[in-house]
Amino acid sequence: SIASIRGRRVWDSRGRPTVEAEIRLAGGAWGRAIAPAGASTGSGEALDRRDGGTAFGGYDVKGAVAAVNEEIAPRLAGMDAADQAALDAALIALDGTPDKSRLGANATLAVSMAAAHAAAAAAGLPLWRHLGGEGATLLPLPQIQILGGGAHAGRRVDIQDFLVVCPAATSFAEALDWTAEVYRAAGAIMKARGLLQGVADEGGWWPAFDANEQALETLVSAIGRAGFKPGEQVAIALDIAATDFGRGGRYRLGLEGRELGTEGMIRMLLGWLDAYPIVSIEDPLAEDDAEGFAAFTREAGARIQVVGDDFLVTDAARVREAARQGAANTVLIKPNQRGTLTETLAAWQAAREVGYAGIVSARSGETEDVTIVHLAIGWGVGQLKVGSFARSERMAKWNEALRIEETLGNHARFAGGAVLGRSR
Ligand code: PGA
Ligand code: ZN
């Protein structure tokens, strides 16, 4: 049973405060976890509690840390750390709001994840095995950012993530090997053309392009330069993050100085599908454009993976509603969009029920915490997106999955391209 819970303020990859929770059990086992933070958030997400004011740009989390130490700790003391559903129900009831805004989703998620780690430690198991048992053998297809944009690169390009997946790789380790070469090649090409400005929030190259399609062309060149067949061995995935530049069916592409309606956006993206080896598009339209989402999915969902992030916000009810509308075919799974592991798992279970694929995802503000890797493998989700192939808050996650693949040895099954979502 839970003997003590301690909250503390630590720092994330953007140098902003965030919440860490540490849970000790009566038997001596313990667990620790840190909440991440998004920058391009959906309005339906559970809310982080921030102090406001002037310190650290208003991002301080003294209130959320106090909520852990003064409210959550006494409430959960004595409870069974292995009963995740009961712990999370207690957190939800204690908070009392629909969006975790009173305690803060950063407070509740850090505690929820720390409890899972403590329970796994008490069972003497790694978290992924504790969650998934002997059946947890599926290594995810990684979706890895090569170029950053949108809110993560000063809006230098409109599209937020230009990523790759390696559908033909035969192991998780091999997918990383291939991606490392593509990442290097993309950097070299951009540097040679004077188009490299540094790295963006998730470690991808920060590009100085004049058009969104320049990024797609660079990506195709980089895949070829690295020695791979574009589309077959290494393919493109995009996170449009359209909520950031669209609302009410109007989409403002700042880079190209034009505004498109829903229909125009769909035509543009379908054009890209014909011209480039794209296998996955996330948030092609804004969170308020369910009809656009459904129309795009009708046009493209049999061919490519259509992912809802801001649109579905890891919410089981929204996943079921989207399925009724035929909008998207894959759900992005971000634990801090809900604030407890139980609700996060419910969204993934809803996805399975309606035949959607899933991608466990990090946030743009991250830390050394690797809990999401254990969730992806323990729950058998099949895909993992944690940003680029640089910076240790990203690499910590890829490296953790490498260790798990090695531990599984010849029991490991790599998800490969077959796991990508499709509408049927
Ligand atoms: P965020 O970006 O963490 O800033 O929301 C990640 C994403 O949009 O997938
Ligand atoms: Zn996204």
Whether 197 and 208 have beta carbons less than 8 Å apart is answered as yes
38 CB under 6 A from ligand 1?
yes
Residue 356 alpha carbon to ligand 1 centre in Å: 20
Question: How many whole angstroms from 289 Cα to the centroid of ligand 1?
Answer: 18
**Alpha helices of 53-198 — where are they, by DSSP H?**
62-66, 73-76, 84-95, 105-123, 127-132, 172-192
Backbone phi, then psi, for 108, in 5-degree steps? -70, -40
Cα dist. 170→30, 220, 374 in Å? Answer: 36, 21, 21
309 lines ligand 1 (CB under 6 A): yes
By 3-state DSSP, what share of the chain in percent is helix, strand and coil, each rounded to 5? 45, 20, 35
Beta carbon of 336 within 6 Å of any ligand 1 atom: no
Reported as a single tens digit per residue, the pLDDT across 395-414 is: 999 999 999 999 999 999 99
Residue nearest to atom 1 of ligand 1 (CA): 38
Assign 331 a pLDDT band (cuts: 50, 70, 90).
very high
User: Which of 160, 338, 369 for mutating ligand 1's site (highest number of atoms within 8 Å of CB)?
Assistant: 160
Please state, in angstroms and rounded to a whole number, the distance separating the CA atoms of residues 18 and 11. 5
Please state whether the predicted TM-score (pTM) of the whole model is above 0.95. Answer: yes
Contact 307, 283 (CB under 8 A): yes
For the stretch 334-379, pLDDT in tens is 999 999 999 999 999 999 999 999 999 999 999 999 999 999 999 9
Tell me the backbone φ, ψ of residue 23, rounded to 5 degrees.
-120, 130
Quick one: which ligand is closest to 36's CA? 1
Closest ligand to 307 CA? 2
| pLDDT at 256 exceeding the cut of 90 | no
What digits encode the pLDDT tens for the residues 298-320? Answer: 999 999 999 999 999 999 999 99
Active-site residue (options: 20, 22, 287, 334): 334
ipTM of the prediction: 0.98
From CA 10, how far away is CA 12, in angstroms rounded?
7
d(CA 77, CA 23): 10
Each residue's pLDDT tens digit, 263-288: 999 999 999 999 999 999 999 999 99
366 is catalytic: no
- CA 166 → CA 100, 191, 284, 343, 354, distances in Å? 37, 24, 21, 30, 26
Check pocket membership of 361 for ligand 1, CB cut-off 6 A: yes
Q: State yes or no: is 232 an active-site residue.
A: no
Q: How far is the CA of 313 from the centre of ligand 2 (A)?
A: 10
Contact in structure between 352 and 316 (CB atoms under 8 Å): no
The answer to whether 253 and 207 are in contact (CB under 8 A) is no
Q: Is 255 left (phi over 0), alpha (psi -120 to 50) or beta?
A: alpha
Mutate to test the pocket of ligand 1, among 338, 361, 388 (most ligand atoms within 8 A of CB): 361
- Length of the chain (residues): 424
Ligand 1: nearest atom to the Cα of 283: 8
Q: Which residues pair with 34 in a beta bridge?
A: 20
Tens of pLDDT, residue by residue over 184-201, are: 999 999 999 999 999 999
Give the distance (Å) from ligand 2 centre to CA of residue 239. 5
Ligand approaching nearest to the C-alpha of 385? 1
